[in-house]
Structure formats: structure tokens, C-alpha cells
Amino acid sequence: MNRWNDTHAEDLIGTIKDRADLYDYLVEATLRRQAISPAKNKLFDINVPRDMAHYRNDFLNATTPAELWYALAKLSNTRHDRHLSLEPVEGGLPLPAELQARMRFNHANKRADPAPRVGVELKTDFSSDQPFVFLSGYALNFEGNQNIEAGARLLKINGRSFADHVALTEPYFCYSTPHFYWYHMPNEIIRRTGLIPEWLQPATLALEFEDVNGTVQSLQLDYQPADHWQWADVPSPYSGFEQILDTPSFTLHTRADKDTIIIQWHGFGKSLTSDVDALMAYAQTNNLLGAHIIYDAKRSRGGDFGGYLLQHLSAHHIRINLGDLRLSDAIEGVIATVLGEDHAAIAEGNLNQAQLNATRWRRDWLLGTVRDDLKAGKEKTRAIPFKCAHQPENGSGILPPAPIHFTGKIVMLTVPYAGSHIDQVAAQLCDNKMCHHIGMPLGGFSKTWTHEEVLTFPRTGQKIASFAWSCGNTIRPNGEVLESNPAMPDTYFPITRNNHLTHHAEMVAMALEYFNRP
């Protein structure tokens, strides 16, 4: 029997005194360990003791494992750090397997999300500094009332005003910028992903809308398995272009005149260096090195090795990102994690010589300089090259272009879909003035390394969950901390209820128009 909602689970959730002791530990550990981002502190007015105190009673008064899990999630989310999420552990709070599967889906392709959902789509209108959510479409096999036109503004969710719904559910979201929160929040209204507790999501979903003429109408919706719904195909935004090359890292689109290519970027995975090599071989063979580039990062994920891509995109010498570590009792855990990840990467055989060199000097830095700085009582390390394996520890901080590289103009397209390494690459492109940036800012989450700890009750040793801290900052080429501070577009072009179907294609058209400017 799963004990997720067991009200007689003191052996799993401890006593009020146990939870009070753990709460005090979390506040103190966060004050010691969490890396400080000036931009984040200004944006969210971060105050760890005050912010965590908002949810202290929820944590202390939890009566089931489910209530304790969600109270702990709210405590974690007060850091406003997208990289930090709770993870279940063996012997800890007993999350149902189905719930774990939904939570692990994260924010990838929503059409493939396995969570139960309703047959309508919602999106956010960013046309003003007060975003709102609107109806953006219906499933092809939706059989309910379709008299409400796309674009109608969402007024109520399950009888609550939209503002009340946001106030009630926002603490369960893990995000680093408001743009990221508002971009993804509508998906949690129409899905039962487990991010929001089940007691806040009734078995059916009631939505009330107001159309552009002021008419108010309602929908009563049933959740169905995700694969129940059929959706219209999304038209390609790349009219006039042909898909030529497809790799795990990107898809390449070209057109007959060869003056412009589109690199539809997917992410920075283990095959990045070989994928970039394939791109350059194709470009050189087909006389594309002089082409302008639309670097479409609208759906890019994170990863590593972005410096290798940057070296090939242009003739620029690139001032790179740096990274530091806040020195605390978490450092030994960070060292063990980083060295373990490097060891695994070496064993997999996916690293080139420059990357292998980086693992060597990073090991020496962690075991030498970092430990020495910790013993000396320093607050943080100096900043070193971060996720840029082509620089030594004491390098110039400037990355030269690869011998074979593109020479045309670059336009980068982004929305607040993701962050992490794509945030880091975007910051380097923008701060080095290598591109013209169109769209909306990315998710704005970027750390160096984290420390994960299995939380236990001090008195009993009972495991609860894995809790993480970001222990270092990424420093952009412009000298600013990147966390909660993404590169801002040169041409801000927000998603709205009037352009949500054409937004992507319009960004591509704007990029092509930019290339035609004198």
C-alpha cells in the first residue's frame, strides 16, 4: 500500500519537533550555501529567513507525506532557482510511481507530455507588463462547447479568480524569472502533472473566459489520458527553406540561393562536438560558410560544450563566461559531484582533447585552490573559465574562432522556453555583439555547480528527499551574474493573443529582413 496520503505516518514525516529542527537546518544551510545573484535579489527581494517563514507552518503542520513533500517544495522554491528541485529518494517520502513519471517530464514538448490533460490549449499574452492567459485552441476531437473563440481571456479557474489562482499555485513553481513562470504556467492549468497538489486540482476543470467583446462564457472540462487528444499539425515557420541535415544537436535548413541558413538548435548533448563537425563539413562542401545564420534557439535545451559551437559560428574572438563557487560546508560534496561527472564523461569517450585537458585542470583546481581557499576562510573562489573546455584555468578568457568558421551575420531567436546552457551561450553571443537577438528573453537560470543532500530528520535519521543548493554563479562576459539576468533581445517581440499562431514565422521573417539591411 502506498502511504502518500497516510494520516498515520509519523514514522515517515516525523514529529512537529523533528520538522521544526529540519526547518531551522534548511534556513541556516541556505544562508551558508546558496550563491547570491544581485539581479535575482533585486528582482524578487530575496530574504531567506523571511521568505521561508511564509511556509514554516505548512511544513511543521503537515499530516501526510504528500503534505510534507509539497511544503518542502515551497520552501525550496523561495530561492527562485530553476535548477533546484526536490527529488525522491529510496526510503524517503513515498511518491507514487505515476506521479514521479509526470514530474520528471519537466517542460519539454507539451504535446508529448504523459500527464492527464483537457482538450484545450492555453497560452500567455505578454503584450504588457501585466501578462494574462488566453484560450489558444481546441483539440481536433474536442466535443464540448467551441463557441468561445481563441484569444478569449481567462478569468476564473475552478471558481477562483485568476489572481487568486496565481497567488495559490505560484509557490509550487520553480522558476528564475517571471518570463519563464508566465510562459509555462498555463500548461499546469490544463494538465495534472503533479507540480500542483491534487487537492488544488479537482477531478474536472472549470474555466471562465471573456472574449474581446466582453462576453463571458464557461467550459467544464474532463481530464483524459494525454494520448486521447488529437491536435492539428503546427505549420513550419521556415517557409522557403528545406531541411538538409538532422542531428541530436540541431536541424539544418537551407534554401536555393544559399545566402541564409537556419540552424534549428535542440540542445547541447554528448554528441555536440561531432554534430558541429558535421555541420562545418557540410557547410564547407556546399559553399555555405559565407551564409547568414538564423540561430533558432526557441526550443533549445541545456547541456555543455557550447564554446565549441561558438568558435565555429563567426570570425569573432569571444570573451567567455566565467564561474565561481561560494565556499561553505557544501564544497566537499560539490567536488565529489564534479569529479564524478568528469570521470563518467571520460569513460564514455565523448570528449575531445581540449575537453580532456579541461577535466585535468579542473580537478587540480578543485582539489588544490578551492580547498585552500576554503581553509583560508575565503567567501568565494575567483572566477574561472566555465563550460568552456578550450581555455586553461589561467587563460586569457578569450576564445579564438576555429580555423573553419562561418562569416555571415547571425540572428538569434529565443523565447522563455528553457535556460541553463542555452542561457550561457546566448549571453556570450549577445555580450560579444556577435548577433542580433529577436524575440523574448530565455529562462534566465544558470549556475556553476550544485550540492545535493538527502535530507533526514536529525533525531531519527529517517530519509525525506534530496534537496539541492546552487553553490556558484555564472559570470557573463559583461561582468554580470547570469542567474535571473538573461540576455535581453535587441528586438523584443512578445507572444500575444493576436500573433500566437504566427509568432515563430514572424521572428524568422524579421531575421530575414535584418539581413537585408545595409
What average pLDDT does this structure show over 465-478?
Answer: 97
Query: What pLDDT score was predicted for residue 98?
Result: 85
Range of 16's domain? 1-95+453-468
Is the pLDDT at 217 greater than 50? The verdict is: yes
Q: What is the pLDDT of residue 389?
A: 54
Count CB neighbours of 38 within 10 A.
Answer: 13
Question: Residue 212 has what pLDDT?
Answer: 93
Residue 38 is which amino acid? P
**Domain co-membership, 438 together with 304:** yes
Residues 505 and 410 both lie in one domain: yes
The model's confidence at residue 329, banded by pLDDT at 50, 70 and 90, is: very high
pLDDT mean over 324-352:
91
What is the pLDDT at residue 83?
Answer: 94
Confidence of residue 356 (pLDDT cuts 50, 70, 90): confident
Determine what percent of the chain is predicted with pLDDT higher than 70.
97
CA-based max dimension of the chain: 73
pLDDT at residue 107, rounded to an integer: 47
* pLDDT above 80: residue 67: yes
Whether 375 maps to a domain, the answer reads yes
* 452-466 mean pLDDT: 96
Average pLDDT over residues 338-356: 83
Residue 144 lies in a domain: no
* C-alpha to C-alpha distance for 172 and 29, rounded to whole angstroms: 21
- Confirm whether 32 is domain-assigned: yes
Q: Residue 351: its pLDDT value, please?
A: 76
| Residue written as grid cell 489558444 | 136
- 222 neighbors 207 (Cβ within 8 angstroms): no
Q: What is the mean pLDDT of residues 154-164?
A: 98
Residue 517: pLDDT band with limits 50, 70, 90: confident
The answer to whether residues 36 and 89 touch, using CB atoms and an 8 Å cutoff, is no
pLDDT at 494 over 80: yes
Q: How many helices (H) and strands (E) does the chain have?
A: 16, 20
Q: Judging by DSSP bridges, how do beta strands 322-323 and 474-475 pair with one another?
A: antiparallel
User: Does the pLDDT of residue 10 top 90, yes or no?
Assistant: yes
Tell me: pLDDT of 392 over 80: no
**Cell 481563441 maps to which residue?**
150
Same domain, 419 and 291: yes
Answer yes or no: is 492 within a domain: yes
Residues 370 and 509 in one domain: no
In this structure, the answer to whether residues 257 and 379 fall within a common structural domain is no
Asked if 278 and 349 sit in the same domain, the reply is: no
Quote the CA–CA distance of 429 and 57 in Å, as a whole number: 45
Dist CA 252 CA 245 (whole Å): 5
Query: Which range, of 26-30, 120-124, 233-237, 355-359, averages the lowest pLDDT?
Result: 355-359
Residue 294 cell numbers, joined: 538564423
Q: What is the distance, to the nearest Å, from the Cα of residue 59 to the centroid of all Cα atoms in its chain?
A: 26
263 and 376 part of one domain = no
Shared domain for 332 and 413, answered yes or no, is no
Per-residue pLDDT at 386: 83
Report residue 110's pLDDT band, with 50, 70 and 90 as the boundaries.
low
Domain count within the chain: 3
Clarify whether residues 302 and 428 are in a common domain.
yes
Percentage of the chain beyond pLDDT 90 is 86
Any residues with CB less than 8 A from the CB of 299 and at least 6 apart, and which? 264, 265, 266, 417, 418
The answer to whether position 395 is within a domain reads: no
Same domain, 59 and 17: yes
Instruction: Identify whether residues 409 and 297 lie together within a single domain.
Output: yes
Residues composing the chain: 518
Residue 268's domain is classified under what CATH number? 3.90.226.10
Is the per-residue pLDDT at 350 higher than 80? Answer: no
Closest CA to 439 of 515, 497, 509: 509
Say yes or no to pLDDT of 108 above 50.
Answer: no
Q: Please state, rounded to an integer, the average pLDDT across all residues of the chain.
A: 94
Mean predicted confidence (pLDDT) in 340-345 = 88
pLDDT tens per residue, range 401-415: 999 999 999 999 999
Residue 193 counted as domain residue = no
Q: Say if residue 437 is in the same domain as residue 460.
A: no
Percent helix, strand, coil in the chain, to 5, is: 35, 20, 45
In a domain, 79, yes or no: yes
Does residue 145 lie in a domain region? no
Average pLDDT over residues 78-85: 96
189-205 burial: b if 16+ Cβ within 10 Å, else e: bbbbbbbbeeeebeeeb
Q: Cβ distance 120 to 135 under 8 Å? A: yes
Residue 434 in grid coordinates? 556577435
| Model confidence at 80: pLDDT above 70 | yes
Question: Residue 109 above 70 pLDDT?
Answer: no
| C-beta contacts of 61-65 below 8 A and 24+ residues apart | 61/16, 62/13, 62/19, 63/7, 63/13, 64/4, 64/5, 64/6, 64/7, 64/9, 64/13, 65/3, 65/4, 65/5, 65/6, 65/9, 65/12, 65/13, 65/93, 65/94
- Residue 427 φ then ψ, to 5°: -60, -40
